[in-house]
Structure 1
Amino acid sequence: MLRPLTLVCLTAWPAMACETALLLSIDVSGSIDSADYRLQTEGLSAALSDPEVAEALVRGQVALAVVQWSGTAQQDLALPWQRMLTPGAVTSFASRAAAMPRAFKGSDTAVGEGLRFALSQFAAVPDCTRQVIDVSGDGQENAGFTDARARSEAVAAGVMINAIAIEEPGPAFPITNYYRNWIISPGGFVVTARGLRDYAETLRLKLLRELVTTIG
C-alpha cells in the first residue's frame, strides 16, 4: 500500500487555467505605408519581449493571437492562438510577430469588420477567463460602417475592447476620441501613440495595464 506522501508525489499538479485570451488586432489599411507596417510589427515584437510583459504573459498562461485588418472582407488571422506557457513561447511568438508578412495593402479602413472578425476568433479559446481585443489604428472607419454594431456584439459576448490610437504630432486627438466614443467597450480604455515610433513603448505600457493589474 502506498503511503499518502507517495501518492502526493505521484499526482500531477493541475495546469493553471488561461487567465486572458488577448487578440492583437492591427491596422494595415492604405494609410499604413511599408515603413509604418514594419514599425508596427517590430513594435509589437519589442513590447512582447519586454521582461515584465513576458513574465506577466507566462504567469497568466495568456493565449495570444494577431489579426491584420483593412477594408471590408479584408481580415486575416496572421498569427493563430498560442498559449504563453514558457518564456520560450513568448520569445517565439515575438519573433514571428516581427517577421509576419503584410496581409493587405492600399485599402479602406473598416474598423467594425475587423472587430467582428476578431470577435469570431475567440471560439477557439473558450477556457480563458477573460477575452480581450486590443485594436490599434490610425484612422476612423470609412468603409463597412459597422463599428457601433460590432462593439455591441462584443459587449454582448463579454469581450473587452481596448485600443491604441496612432495620432499625428500636434494638439488634436481625432483618432483617440473616435476610439473612445465608438470602439472601446464599457470599462475598456484607449491609449495614444504619437506616431508609430511611439508605438512600441505605448503598447508595452498598455499590455502591463491589461495583464499585471488583472493577474496581481
Structure 2
Amino acid sequence: MTYSTRKAVAIALSAALLGHGGPAAAQSCRLALTLALDASASVDAEEHALQSMGLASALDDSDVRHAILSLGGIWLSAFEWSGRNQQIVHVDWTFLDNHDAIDAVSARFAEVPRQHFEFPTAMGFALGFASVQMRNAPQTCARRVIDVSGDGVNNEGFPPRAAYREFDFDGVTINGLVIKSAEAGAEDYYRAEVLRGPDAFLEVAENYGDYARAMKRKLLREIRGDQVSDLRAR
C-alpha cells in the first residue's frame, strides 16, 4: 500500500477509531499519554501548522510506531490549550495497538483545525485540564505521562505549582517540550516550574521547524520509559 493510499484509508477510518480501543485494550496497559499542545497567541498560524504537521510526522515515524507496537499499544489523548477556558480535545482516549489506529491519529493531527488564536498562556489551567483527562483514561496504566509543549511561560491565571497542589497528579509524570522563541527564560521556566514526577525530562526544539525532530525524540523517551531524567521526582 502506498503512503498516499494509506493516508486516505487512515482519514476514512479516523472517525471510527478515535476514542475507541481495539480488542487489545482489555489487556494490561503500559502507558497512558496525554499531549497538551500550545495554541496561545504567541503561536502564529505558520508555527501552529508546523507544530501540527510535526506531531503528525513524529507519530508516523517508523521508530515511534515500532516503540508503540512493541509495548502492545498505548492509550493516547491530545488537546490544545491557551487561555483559562480554552482547552479543546482533538483526540479523545484512543488505544494505539495497530498501524490503522496510528495512521488515524497521525492523520487527525495533520488536519485538525485550530480553535482559538487570541488567548494568553494559562498553563496552570491546562495542567488542571490534563489531570482530569488523565483520571478519565479508560485504564489505569503502569505509567501515566502528561506531555506539555509550548514556547512561553504562564501569563494568565494560577501557575503550574498551584495546579500541582490543587489537582490530583499522584503517580503522573509531567514532561516538557520547549520551542525556543523570542520569549527569554521559557526553558528555565519549564525546568523549574513544569517538570514533575518520576523521570521527568525536558526536550528542546530550536524553532518550530525543529518541532518534528524534538517531538520524535520526546515520544521515544516517553514510550520506551528511558531512565534518563532532567528532574527527579518531588
Same fold per superposition (TM over 0.5): yes
**Aligned partner (choices 133, 137, 141) of residue 150 of structure 2:** 137
1:148-187 superposed matches below 5 A: 148-152=161-165, 156-168=169-181, 174-186=185-197, 187=199
Deviating above 6 A after TM superposition, structure 1's stretches of 4 or more consecutive aligned residues are none
- 2:25/2:95 contact within 8 Å kept: no
User: Which has more radius of gyration?
Assistant: 1
1:183-207: per-residue Cα shift (whole Å, max 9, x none)?
Answer: 0104311111111100000010111
1:114 matched to 2:126? The reply is yes
SS at match of 1:201: helix
Residue 74 (structure 1) aligned with residue 86 (structure 2): yes
| Cα contact 2:178–2:204 (8 A) shared by 1 | yes
Residue 72 of structure 1 aligns to a residue whose secondary structure is coil
Query: CA shift at 1:74, angstroms?
Result: 1.0
Residue 76 of structure 2 corresponds to: 64
Are the counterparts in 1 of residues 55 and 215 from structure 2 also a CA contact under 8 Å? yes
Q: What SS does the corresponding residue of 1:160 show, helix, strand or coil?
A: strand
User: Judging changes above 3 Å, is the alpha-carbon distance between structure 1 residues 130 and 154 closer, same or farther for their aligned structure 2 residues?
Assistant: farther
TM-score (norm: length of structure 1) = 0.86
Counterpart residue number, 1:5: none
- Tell me which amino acid in the other structure corresponds to 1:199: Y
Query: Which SS does the other structure have where 2:175 is aligned?
Result: strand
Q: Residues 198, 59 of structure 1: CA spacing in aligned structure 2 closer, same or farther, 3 A cutoff?
A: same
| 1:27 aligned residue | 38
* Contact preservation (8 Å) 2:78, 2:92: yes
Structure 1 counterpart of 2:82, one-letter code: S
Give the match for residue 50 of structure 2.
39
Q: Which amino acid in structure 2 is aligned with residue 185 of structure 1? A: R
CA contact (8 A) 2:131 2:168 kept: no
Cα gap change, 1:154 to 1:212, in 2 (>3 Å): farther
Distance of 1:55 and 1:154 partners within structure 2: 34
Which aligned pairs between 1:99-110 and structure 2 lie closer than 5 A?
Answer: 99-110=111-122
Partner of 1:176: helix, strand, or coil? helix
1:195 equivalent in structure 2:
207
Of the structure 1 ranges 119-128 and 186-195, higher mean CA displacement relative to structure 2 is found in 119-128
Of the structure 1 ranges 142-151 and 45-54, higher mean CA displacement relative to structure 2 is found in 142-151
**What's the offset of the Cα at 1:31?**
0.6
Gaps of 5+ in 1: 1-12
CA separation of 1:30/1:104 partners in 2, compared to 1, >3 Å: closer, same or farther? Answer: same
CA RMSD of aligned residues (A): 2.2
Q: Do the aligned partners of 1:176 and 1:191 also contact (CA within 8 Å) in 2? A: no
* Equivalent residue pairs, number: 201
Note the alpha carbon deviations across 1:120-140, whole angstroms, 9 max, x for none.
Answer: 012332332211100000010
Quick one: distance in 1 between partners of 2:166 and 2:187?
A: 21
Give the TM-score of the pair, scaled to structure 2. Answer: 0.80
Partner AA of 2:143 in structure 1: R
Secondary structure of the 2:145 match is strand
Amino acid at match of 1:56: A
Shift of 1:173: 6.2
Identity of aligned residues (%): 35
Which residue of the other structure, out of 143, 155, 159, is the alignment partner of 1:146? 159
